[in-house]
Amino acid sequence: MSASQSAVRSRAEAVAVSRTFDWMILFVLFTAVLGGYHIHFMLTGGDWDFWSDWKDRRLWVTVVPIVAITFPAAVQACLWWRYRLPIGATLCILALLLGEWINRYMNFWGWTYFPINICFPSQLIPSAIILDVVLMLSGSMTLTAVAGGLGWGLIFYPSNWPVIAPLHQPVEYNGMMFTLADLSGYHYVRTGTPEYIRMVEKGTLRTFGKDVAPVSAFFSGFVSVIIYFLWHFFGKWFSGTGFIADDAS
Amino acid sequence: MKTIKDKVASLSFVALLMALTAAMFYTPTASAHGEKSQAAFMRMRTIHWYDLNWSKDEVAVNETVTISGKFHVFGGWPESVDEPDVSFLNIGIPGPVFIRAGSWIGGQLVPRSVALSLGETYDFKVLLKARRPGDWHVHTMMNVQGGGPIIGPGKWVTITGSMSQFVNPIVTLTGKTLDLETYNISNIYFWHAIWYAVGVAWMWYWAKGPIFIPRQLAVASGKASTLISSGDKKVGIVFLVGTIVANAYLMGATNDEYPVTTPLQAGTMRGIIPLEMPVPSVNVVVDDATYRVPGRAMQMSLTVTNNGDSSVRLGEFMTASVRFLEPNVLEDETGYPDDLLAEEGLTVSDNSPLAPGETRSISVTASDAAWEVYRLADLIYDPDSRFAGLLFFFDEAGNRQMVMVDSALIPSFI
Ligand SMILES: [Cu+2]
């Protein structure tokens, strides 16, 4: 078969090839995003996402959505503007969570023996669904950044609460009060993570008393909006095809 | 077609391998044997651990071991290490092979970081409960913010039995009894599985039809608006509203199920009470100190004055957790780790009892392979070539006095 001949000879074959490409691209995209996003997220979200005794009402709620909205914004830009596919955020989060679960189960538990109840990942799928559906309904980057980004940050704490609330029950232990998450962190020794590097419940939001989580979530949503714009542009730039001579679009 | 499928399969396999490799990029393991690689001055001039005791060297799963003793916070703390204002009493073990059931400084439980004062001595205790069978090197350890981990001596402890037997029962303040080893794990799996399925359903809705090539062609030919149908929008709204409503409902239901929750507890603890140490009645002046590289020996010239009312003899020199004993005065009965114990490592030019009121110049040699094994000799290559350690004198009744020494060290290469 010479290069000038078509690879397919019938419509049925063309459809089959197109479908094969779908799965190929989807799989490669999924695994490539998994690798890149996972490393990005470990380096930026790091301990806040690793340990249950870092999942507090202030910094975890603030930091995780902000550093997590990056790849979803970029992949959305590619999949939406090129294919009108509103699955960029969900694809990223499914990839990230798969990578995280492999890491937590095989390394944190299987290799180092931390129980899963101290080292499970944060839940981000509801956030991703909001981001994708807002993009699909609005078809607008600005609206997705503003409404989607805010929703992304706001739903983060509620969507994690069913999993972390049980670990926030108080315990009296040797004359001090702990939450179960604190106690896990104390019991299951992390030689390389001394207590003082644990950044929780710090900040200047104390005037809000015990209703600090919603305030943190709003703040996180606002910053997510800005980060969304930034990474959406990265995504657009990254998915450009100007290097192909006859496609300048 | 078949070759394309094979290629997809092999490419997929490569991609999967790459993804797995990326996922394994990070593991929070901690080596328990960092002690030797730590700069010698860090071990000699920061925290001096002594009177250590490991209550057992073999335990079954669920049994406990206590590591207790004292540590002296060196008054001449090196400038290159932050002062121990925020310090955490840790334990050097390879991951949670034991759980830390309790840790105390001066009788105070210290799950958080504490402020330590230079020149003071504290007593401490760490209670460990055995979890994972194996032979583990258990080190005392103090983490200092801005200074890193300061590792104390390590001793091998064997855990027997099976990890599946391990339990960690806890009673909450609301009266619930639970096993912290397994508590909440099925709840975590359940909600992560549910939401993962929702995410996959959304992906599947879009991936089930032809996607990349036809859609790209449609977008390129200006027909992008036809790609999202009103049916798609309805499905999207169901996902959006469903997600928001479900989360609002679950938040309320969770609050009903767990009405009492508290924020994570954190914050530095101050006011840790040091031991009241008597002022030593033995006065020591270091006239000079040299380290002889070929002989692996440190030689100190000391002028010792006994201001007490009982005659004393020098029994031990300790630095960086290595104990050099003068065998005629002191024998170790605490089961101190062999590799850190130089039972006959201390030679004193004249160690006859030093009578009250008497002053004597003595030459003291501390020699042992430990200088090399524990890389203490590297001290001479440190930017601040000084050593520090503890001298222990014993009077006729066997009472002990601790005297801190701190001096420049001159290396000798011949
Ligand atoms: Cu060791």
Contact residues on chain B for A195, CB-CB shorter than 8 A: 88, 111-113, 143
Domain boundary among B173, B200, B218: B173
Mean predicted confidence (pLDDT) in B21-35: 50
pLDDT recorded at residue A119: 95
The dihedral of CA B215, B220, B221, B222: what is its sign? Answer: positive
Q: Alpha-carbon distance B78 to A222, whole Å?
A: 45
Question: Phi, psi at residue B81, to the nearest 5°?
Answer: -120, 135
Q: Does residue B246 share a domain with residue B338?
A: no
Of B19, B178, B202, the CB nearest to A99: B19
Domain boundary among B242, B257, B272: B257
Q: Does residue B161 share a domain with residue B93?
A: yes
Which amino acid, one-letter code, is at A34?
A: L
Q: Does residue B71 share a domain with residue B13?
A: no
pTM to 2 decimals?
A: 0.87
Mean pLDDT taken over chain B: 88
Are B177 and B170 in contact by the 8 Å Cβ rule? The answer is: yes
pLDDT tens digits for B197-251?
999 999 999 998 888 989 999 998 988 888 999 999 999 999 999 999 999 999 9
B71 inside domain: yes
Distance B33 CA to ligand 1 centre (A): 4
Enumerate residues 6+ apart whose C-beta is below 8 A from A32: B15
Q: Does residue B389 share a domain with residue B292?
A: yes
Of A59, A182, A193, A200, residue with least CA distance to A117: A182
Which amino acid, one-letter code, is at B183?
A: Y
Mean predicted confidence (pLDDT) in B104-128: 94
Of A128, A126, A124, residue with least CA distance to A87: A128
Q: Alpha-carbon distance A83 to B224, whole Å?
A: 8
B271 inside domain: no
Are B396 and B66 in contact by the 8 Å Cβ rule? The answer is: no
Question: What is residue B374's three-state secondary structure?
Answer: coil
CATH number at residue B237: 1.10.287.710
Q: What is the Cα B293 distance to its own chain's centre? A: 31
Classify residue B317 as exposed, middle or buried by CB count within 10 Å of its CB (0-12, 13-18, 19+): buried
Structure tokens at B314: 């020098």
Domain boundary among B147, B173, B199: B173
Tell me how many degrees the CA angle B177-B180-B182 measures, rounded to the nearest 5: 110
Query: Which residues constitute the domain of residue B375?
Result: 282-412
Structure tokens at A106: 């095989």
Question: What is residue A9's three-state secondary structure?
Answer: coil
pLDDT recorded at residue B35: 65
Cα of B413 to nearest chain A Cα, Å: 37
Q: Does residue B48 share a domain with residue B129?
A: yes
Please name the residue ranges forming H helices in B26-162. Answer: 40-44
Q: Alpha-carbon distance B308 to A178, whole Å?
A: 48
Q: Alpha-carbon distance B324 to B364, whole Å?
A: 11
pLDDT tens digits for B299-335?
999 999 999 999 999 999 998 889 999 999 999 888 8
Contact residues on chain B for A31, CB-CB shorter than 8 A: 15-16, 18-19
pLDDT recorded at residue B380: 72
* Eight-class DSSP state of B187: H
Check if A181 contacts B (Cβ < 8 Å): yes
pLDDT recorded at residue B31: 41
- Give percent of chain B above pLDDT 70: 91
pLDDT recorded at residue A240: 82
pLDDT recorded at residue B5: 65
* Portion 15-74 of A in contact with B at CB < 8 A: 15-28, 31-32, 34-36, 38-39, 42, 50, 53-57
Angle, helices A88-103/A70-83, rounded to nearest 10 degrees: 140
- Give percent of chain A above pLDDT 70: 92
pLDDT tens digits for A160-200?
999 999 999 999 999 999 999 999 999 999 988 888 888 88
Q: Alpha-carbon distance A166 to A160, whole Å?
A: 11
pLDDT recorded at residue B11: 67
Cα of B18 to nearest chain A Cα, Å: 8
* Portion 113-132 of B in contact with A at CB < 8 A: 113, 131-132
Q: What residues does each domain of chain A span?
A: 20-203+213-238
The CATH architecture assigned to A20-203+213-238 reads: Up-down Bundle (1.20)
Interface test with A, best of B5, B265, B268, B269 (most A CBs within 10 A): B265
Strand segments, DSSP code E, in chain A are 170-173, 176-179
Check if B268 contacts A (Cβ < 8 Å): yes
ipTM for the complex shown: 0.94
Structural domains counted in chain B: 3
Mean predicted confidence (pLDDT) in B390-401: 92
CATH number at residue B95: 2.60.120.570
CATH number at residue B392: 2.60.40.1580
B186 inside domain: no
Interface test with A, best of B82, B211, B228, B245 (most A CBs within 10 A): B211
Task: Examine the pLDDT at B25 and tell me if it is beyond 70.
Answer: no
Task: Examine the pLDDT at B30 and tell me if it is beyond 70.
Answer: no
Task: Examine the pLDDT at B358 and tell me if it is beyond 70.
Answer: yes
Question: What is residue B386's three-state secondary structure?
Answer: strand
Q: Alpha-carbon distance B169 to B179, whole Å?
A: 4
Are B57 and B92 in contact by the 8 Å Cβ rule? The answer is: no
B276 inside domain: no
Q: Alpha-carbon distance A104 to A125, whole Å?
A: 18
What is the band of B32 on the pLDDT scale with cuts at 50, 70, 90?
Answer: very low
Q: Alpha-carbon distance B398 to A208, whole Å?
A: 61
Question: What size, in residues, is chain A?
Answer: 249
* Eight-class DSSP state of B163: G
Q: Cβ–Cβ of B19/A35 closer than 8 Å? A: yes
Classify residue B43 as exposed, middle or buried by CB count within 10 Å of its CB (0-12, 13-18, 19+): buried
Q: Alpha-carbon distance A145 to A152, whole Å?
A: 10
Check if A80 contacts B (Cβ < 8 Å): no
Enumerate residues 6+ apart whose C-beta is below 8 A from A4: none
pLDDT recorded at residue A208: 59
Q: Does residue B164 share a domain with residue B138?
A: yes
pLDDT tens digits for B254-292?
999 999 999 988 888 888 889 988 888 899 999 999 888
Distance B153 CA to ligand 1 centre (A): 8
Q: Cβ–Cβ of B263/A101 closer than 8 Å? A: no
Point out the residues of chain A with pLDDT beneath 50.
1, 248-249
